[in-house]
Amino acid sequence: MLKSFVEQYTLREKIAMDAIQTSPEKAQEIISSLMSGTVSSCREIPLTQGNPDMYIQYFYNLIAMVAMFGCMTGMHITMQNQANLSALGARNNCSPAPKLVTILACLTGSFIIQTVCMLLCVTFLAFVLKVDFGDRLPLVYPAAILGGIMGVSFGFFVGSVSHMSEKAKTAVLMSASMLLCFLSGLMMGDIKGTIAQKAPWFNNINPAAVVSDSFYCLNIDEDYTRFITKLITMAVITVVFIMLGFIISRRKKYASV
């Protein structure tokens, strides 16, 4: 700032000297027009009515992190359905009830629990910490809930992929969700912008980024197009994870436990 002030001063001095040297008769007029505040040459076009504070996106990412941590609930569904990992899993596997029904029931229960968590989380941020989500707070709730459901299905998918121990699964899921949250800007606010420049497709498939982007679009955009796209993306990712989870866990046989 100081540098630009000094430069402004030297620039005006130079113009005044030039004016005195080249056309002394007009010098007074030119100097006074330089000194008088002129109308701004630049008209500002506002882009958003929302909250432009960049720090608020740390809170978006915090909600995304809570949503992604739903994966731990999702993982426990698989723990209860893999015979080598828990007694309950062994019992479930030898019962005549179809796996699809058992797992769907578990998934529904987990979705309900995660929904309650997300409701609490958003309510706490909005009403206790008074975080400004723009003027469309009621829509933040469905986005957060859908994010939470996506988190659970992510855990269900990763849990189904392998028969690792609970510890190893927890480590994989925690690291994966922290990595995804890191890439969505939980620890460094500007990382999402960098990724948007270098690999824009990644922000569209990173679950944590999709959740935080949905809040961002709700806050910044005037229409709902991008917000709805983000919700659809979340729904699609959720369905893909659940389908893959089912495909992997079906028809699994245990010779001995």
Partner 1 sequence: MQVFKTMFRVMRSRIPSAMIYIIIFLAISAFVTSQSTKDNKFEMNRLKVCVFDEDDTPESRALTEFIGKHNDIVEIDNNRDTITDSLYYKTVNYALIINKGYAERLAAGETAELFGSYHMDESYSVVYMSKMLDEYTGSVKAYLAMGKSFEEAVSATEAAMSQETEVEMFRVDKGGDSHFSVDFAQYFQFMPYILISVIISIVSLVLVTMNKKDIRYRTNCSCLKNSKYTFQLFFGSFLFVLFIWLIFMVAGAVFNEEMYTGRAWLAVLNSFIFSMVVAALAVFIASFEPKDNILNLVTQVLGLGMSFFCGVFVPMEILSDGVLSAARFLPAYWYVRANRMISEEDAFSSEGVMKCMLIECLFIVVLVLMTILVRRLRYSSASIGSAVKKAAA
Residues near partner 1 (CB under 8 A) are 1, 3-4, 6-8, 10-11, 14-15, 18-19, 22-23, 26, 29-30, 33-34, 38-48, 52-55, 58, 166-168, 170-172, 174-175, 178-179, 182, 186-190, 192-194, 196-197, 216, 220-221, 226
Nearer residue to partner 1 within complex by CB, 1 or 97: 1
16: which 2 tokens? 């005044």
Distance CA 159, CA 71 (A): 9
CB 243 → partner 1: shortest distance, Å?
26
Sign of CA pseudo-dihedral 181, 186, 187, 189? positive
CB 246 → partner 1: shortest distance, Å?
26
DSSP 40: P
Nearer residue to partner 1 within complex by CB, 84 or 175: 175
Nearer residue to partner 1 within complex by CB, 149 or 186: 186
Distance CA 248, CA 187 (A): 34
237: which 2 tokens? 């990712």
DSSP 250: T
Nearer residue to partner 1 within complex by CB, 3 or 251: 3
CB 173 → partner 1: shortest distance, Å?
10
DSSP for 110-167 reads HHHHHHHHHHHHHHIIIIIS-----S-HHHHHHHHHHHHHHHHHHHHHHHHH----HH
CB 84 → partner 1: shortest distance, Å?
16
Find, among 75, 81, 101, 104, the residue nearest to 93 by Cα.
81
Nearer residue to partner 1 within complex by CB, 203 or 238: 203
CB 78 → partner 1: shortest distance, Å?
15
Nearer residue to partner 1 within complex by CB, 227 or 242: 227
142: which 2 tokens? 């469905």
CB 94 → partner 1: shortest distance, Å?
24
Expressed in angstroms, the distance from the first to the final Cα of the chain is 72
